[in-house]
Chains A and B, each alone.
Chain A
Amino acid sequence: MNHNLFVIIAASAIFYGTPIYFAALGEVLTERSGVLNLGVEGMMLIGAVAGSWTSSHLGGPAWFVVLGAIIVGAFAAALCAALHGLLVITLRANQTVAGLALTIFAGAVGLSSYLANSWHVARAPALRQIRRLNVFGLKDAPVVGPLLFNHNVLTYLSWVLCVVASIYLFRTRMGMHLRAVGESPQTADAMGINVTAYRYGHTIVGGALAGIGGVFFSLAIVPTWVDGMTTGRGWIAIALVIFGFWRPDLTLVGAYLFGAFSSLGLILKARNVDINSSILDSLPFVMTIVVLVVVSTGWARKRLGAPASLGVAYEREER
Chain B
Amino acid sequence: MTDAMNTTTAWAEVQAVVLSGITKRFPGVVANDGVNFAAAHGEVHALLGENGAGKSTLSNVLTGLYRPDEGTIDIGRVRHNFGSPRDALDAGVGMVHQHFRLVQTFSVAENVVLGEKGGGVFLSRRIIEQRVRELSERYHLPVDPAAKIWQLSVGEQQRVEILKVLYRQATVLILDEPTAVLTPAESQALFTTMRAIVAEGRTVIFISHKLDEVIDVADRVTVLRGGRSVGTVATSDSTVRSLAELMVGRDIAFTRQRSNDLVFGDSPVVLEMRHLQAHDDRGRMALKNVSLTVRAGEIVGVAGVAGNGQRELAEVITGLRESSGGVTLVGGFGLRGGNPREAIDAGLAHVPEDRLHTGLAPSLSVEDNLVLKSYRKRPIHTVGVLRRSRIRSMATALIERFDVKTPGPQTATRLLSGGNVQKVLLAREFTAKPKVMVAASPTRGLDVGAIETVRKLILQAADDGVGVLLISEDLEEVLALTDRLVVMYEGAIVGEFATSAASIESIGMLMGGASASPDEVAAS
Contacts and interface: CB of A to CB of B under 8 A. Distances in A.
A247 to B, nearest CB: 13
A188 interface: yes
A6 B89 CA distance: 59
A172 B123 contact: yes
B130 to A, nearest CB: 17
8 contacts: A176-B110, A180-B106, A183-B104, A183-B105, A184-B101, A188-B114, A191-B85, A192-B85
Contacts of B146: none
Contacts of A176: 106, 110, 114, 123
Interface of B: 26-27, 60, 65-67, 84-86, 89-90, 95, 97, 101-106, 110-111, 114-117, 119-123, 164, 282-283
A173 B101 contact: no
A222 B118 CA distance: 47
B121 A174 contact: yes
Contacts of B115: 177, 180, 188, 191-193
A171 B104 contact: no
A56 B106 CA distance: 49
A153 to B, nearest CB: 27
Contacts, number: 76
A316 to B, nearest CB: 7
A186 to B, nearest CB: 6
Contact of A184 (B27, B97, B102, B121): B102
Given A171-B123, A183-B103, A183-B105, 7 more contacts: A176-B110, A176-B114, A179-B103, A184-B104, A191-B164, A192-B115, A193-B115
A308 B121 contact: no
Main secondary structure of the interface of A (DSSP, over half): helix
Given A192-B115, A316-B65, A319-B26, A171 B89 contact: no
A32 to B, nearest CB: 12
Interface string A286-319: 0000000000000000100000100000001111
B256 to A, nearest CB: 37
A174 B116 CA distance: 10
Contact of A180 (B27, B84, B114): B114
Nearest to B123: A173
Contacts of B283: 302
B119 A173 contact: yes
A187 B114 contact: yes
Interface of A: 171-174, 176-177, 179-180, 183-184, 186-193, 302, 308, 316-319
A137 B260 CA distance: 94
A17 B471 CA distance: 55
Main secondary structure of the interface of B (DSSP, over half): loop
Contacts of A189: 84-85
Contacts of B121: 172-174
Contacts of B84: 189, 192
Given A183-B104, A192-B90, A193-B115, A318 B65 contact: yes
Q: Please indicate which of the listed interface residues B101, B115, B117, B164 has the most CB atoms of chain A within 10 Å of its own CB.
A: B115
A187 B103 contact: yes
A163 to B, nearest CB: 14
Q: Please indicate which of the listed interface residues B66, B114, B282 has the most CB atoms of chain A within 10 Å of its own CB.
A: B114
Contacts of B86: 191-192
A172 B114 contact: no
Nearest to A187: B101
A181 to B, nearest CB: 10
Contacts of B103: 179-180, 183-184, 187-188
Given A184-B103, A318-B65, A173 B85 contact: no
B415 to A, nearest CB: 13
Contacts of A188: 103, 114-115
A316 B82 CA distance: 14
Q: Nearest 10 A-B pairs (CB), nearest first? A: A192-B86, A191-B115, A187-B101, A192-B115, A190-B101, A191-B114, A183-B103, A319-B26, A193-B115, A190-B85
A48 B95 CA distance: 49
A177 B114 CA distance: 7
Contact of B101 (A179, A186, A302, A319): A186
Nearest to A305: B105
A177 B409 CA distance: 45
Contacts of B65: 316-318
Contacts of B101: 184, 186-187, 190-191
A193 B102 CA distance: 13
B511 to A, nearest CB: 28
Contact of B122 (A172, A183, A302, A319): A172
Contacts of B111: 187
A171 B90 contact: no
Contacts of A316: 65
A183 B122 CA distance: 20
A318 B320 CA distance: 33
B357 to A, nearest CB: 14
A192 B120 contact: no
Contacts of A180: 103, 106, 114-115
A38 B86 CA distance: 32
Given A173-B122, A316-B65, A318-B65, A308 B114 contact: no
Contacts of B85: 189-192
A209 B196 CA distance: 52
Nearest to B100: A187
Contacts of A187: 101-103, 111, 114
A157 to B, nearest CB: 22
Nearest to B94: A190
Contact of B114 (A193, A302, A318): A193
Contacts of A308: 104-105
